[in-house]
Amino acid sequence: MAGWLLVLLLVVTIVFIVVATARYALHPFLALLAAAYGLGLLAGQSPGDVVAAIVEGFGGTVGGIGIIIAAGTIIGVVLERSGGAQVMADAIIGLVGKARSVMAMSLTGAVVSVPVFCDSGYVVLSPLARSLASRSGRSMATYAVALSMGLYATHVFIPPTPGPIAAAGELDADIGLVILLGLVVTIPVLVTTYLFAVTVGERIFIDPDTVSIEDPSEGHAAPPSDGDRVARPETWQAFLPIVLPIALIALNSLAAAVLGEGMIASFLQFLGNPNTALLLGVAAAFLVTARTRGPSLTQDAVGRALRVAGPIILITGAGGALGSVLRSTPITGFLSDSLVLTSLGIFLPFLLAAALKTAQGSSTVAIVTSAAIIAPLVGSLGLDSATGLALVTLAIGAGSMTVSHANDSFFWVVSQFSGMSTPQAYKLQTVSSGIAGVTGILAIWILSLIL
């Protein structure tokens, strides 16, 4: 098959994934697998080779990130159910001060969303946003944008959130480096979205006292009641399950660079392996709940977390299968030689992820699909170094938040929990997510020039 016909086949494959998931509600796991089979067979691969590539890609991807996603999800659900997320929010507001409550709301979202899914994080923290808006006499829109974009930023940039973990696994990027650079990229995103919240958000007044509390989406935990507050963990206990694994993973990357070989370096690399670090984070979360809420909450949280993590792991594995099939076809060689595409550099993964996100709504599907397609091309893009792979992971994350609109569940969670009308949500949530994504890729581009 000629080169540009292969590219057309890849475009058709992407369109199939978007239409199947967005229009016909086919589960992304099945859509990605069907796309992998179709791409391989239509590209001229033998049936046996296609199946072998799918099995290899699926198994390799799940083996690399399955435990990490499951453990990270358990930590998030335990913190959500135990009241730990609310404790972290109160601590950040106490540190920043109520006079800077909008900034505190943005920072709170950024911290809480590292282990907790942004949808659930918004549900848990929305009563706090309403309370602060009411006390300050300001628009609920201001606090809603600050909170939602704070949650969104770390959701796409900083592991152990499943999206960046999945992309890092597919691209074979160093997770510790992704965390460190992700923190750097998150800062300008928080700044620009905060400025948007206090300027544009203030112009659209939504009375916080008229916002009703209804959960529009099944599966989100209700905000903690007053009775739950008695059993909340202490501040250090709430932060420990997040800080411990991130610190160990970062220390692993540092130990490999500074200490080289030796017993101490080997031990730190063992502790800082993402699988080990996240499991230690789970142990820390269990210690917190054992002292505050008992084993019943732990059992319930683990069960719910595994129900949430299972589909994500399968989707990520299916994305790995698609990437494996793509690598086995002549498409990657042709794309690698295309000056039109390779000249885009770090912007190519961003644009691909943004197109997928805007078309079908799911950030996770956009991340997984984009990583699978981009992985064979990183060498041609000149981004196959450790730093380059981390930046590609972040570029895909930036694209996956550009933009949130009506086909995105987070769009509706934010709008309905904040009392926004749909036109208001487009002006606030959609525009702010676009600003966040563009800010993110510009920051990543600048890092690519410096590092």
What are 335-352's pLDDT values in tens digits?
Answer: 666 666 667 899 999 999
Q: Across all residues in the chain, what is the average pLDDT? A: 85
**pLDDT, tens only, 156-197:** 999 888 889 889 988 999 988 999 999 999 999 999 999 999
Residue 48: per-residue pLDDT: 94
pLDDT at 218 over 70: no
pLDDT at 291 over 70: no
Residue 231: per-residue pLDDT: 67
Q: Give the pLDDT mean for 359-381.
A: 87
Q: Give the pLDDT mean for 33-59.
A: 92
pLDDT at 419 over 50: yes
Residue 435: per-residue pLDDT: 97
Q: Model-level pTM?
A: 0.83
Lowest average pLDDT, out of 57-71, 144-158, 164-178, 207-221, goes to 207-221
> Mapped to the 3 state alphabet, what secondary structure does the chain carry?
CCHHHHHHHHHHHHHHHHHHHHHCCCCHHHHHHHHHHHHHHHCCCCHHHHHHHHHHHHHHHHHHHHHHHHHHHHHHHHHHHHCHHHHHHHHHHHHHCHHHHHHHHHHHHHHHCCCCCHHHHHHHHHHHHHHHHHHHCCCHHHHHHHHHHHHHHHHHHCCCCHHHHHHHHHHCCCHHHHHHHHHHHHHHHHHHHHHHHHHHHHHCCCCHHHCCCCCCCCCCCCCCCHHHHCCCCCHHHHHHHHHHHHHHHHHHHHHHHHCCCCHHHHHHHHHHCHHHHHHHHHHHHHHHHHHHCCHHHHHHHHHHHHHHHHHHHHHHHHHHHHHHHHHHCCHHHHHHCCHHHHCCCCHHHHHHHHHHHHHHCCHHHHHHHHHHHHHHHCCCCCCCCHHHHHHHHHHHHHHCCCCCCCCCHHHHHHHHHHCCCHHHHHHHHHHHHHHHHHHHHHHHHHHHHHC
Residue 216: per-residue pLDDT: 43
